[in-house]
Amino acid sequence: MIGLGTQDSANDAIEFVESRETYSFPMYWDETFESWIAFGVTSQPAAALLSPSGEVLGAWLGAFPADEVLQLAAST
C-alpha cells in the first residue's frame, strides 16, 4: 500500500502524516498533481487496487471497503 497525496503544501502533508500517524506504509507527496491526473482522480479520498503487474483490480471514490480490497487482493 502506498499513499499518494497532493494539493496544499509539503508541510501540510507532513502535518497530515504526523497527525494521522501513518508510518506503516510509504506516504508519497506529489506537488505536481500529475500522478492524480494519470490515474484520472479528481477528488479525494479515493483508492485503486492494482495487480502486481499493474492491472486495475478495483477503484473506489470515498472510503474504500477493506473486506473487498482484501478479497480482490487475495484473488490475484
Partner 1 sequence: MPAASNDGAAIDDAASTGTANVTIPTSDLASDQADSVDGTPVIDPPATTAGPETTDGDPPADDAKPAEPAWPDDGCSADNTPSPTEAADAPAPVLEIRTESAASPLPDLAVRRINCNGGWVNLRNELPSELPLLVWFWAPH
Q: Is 71 in the site for partner 1 (CB under 8 A)?
A: no
Q: Is 24 in the site for partner 1 (CB under 8 A)?
A: yes
Q: Which of 47, 54, 52 is nearest to 69 (CA)?
A: 47
Q: Is 61 in the site for partner 1 (CB under 8 A)?
A: yes
Beta strand 46-50 pairing with 27-29: unpaired
CB of 68 to partner 1, least distance (A): 9
Site string for partner 1, 28-57 (x = CB under 8 A): xxxxx-xxxxxxxxxxxxxxxxxxxxx-xx
What is the torsion angle, in degrees rounded to the nearest 10, for the CA atoms of residue 65, residue 54, residue 57 and residue 64? 10
Which 3 state secondary structure label does DSSP give 45? coil
Q: Where along the sequence are the contacts to partner 1 (CB under 8 A)?
A: 1-18, 21-32, 34-54, 56-62, 64-65, 69, 72-73, 76
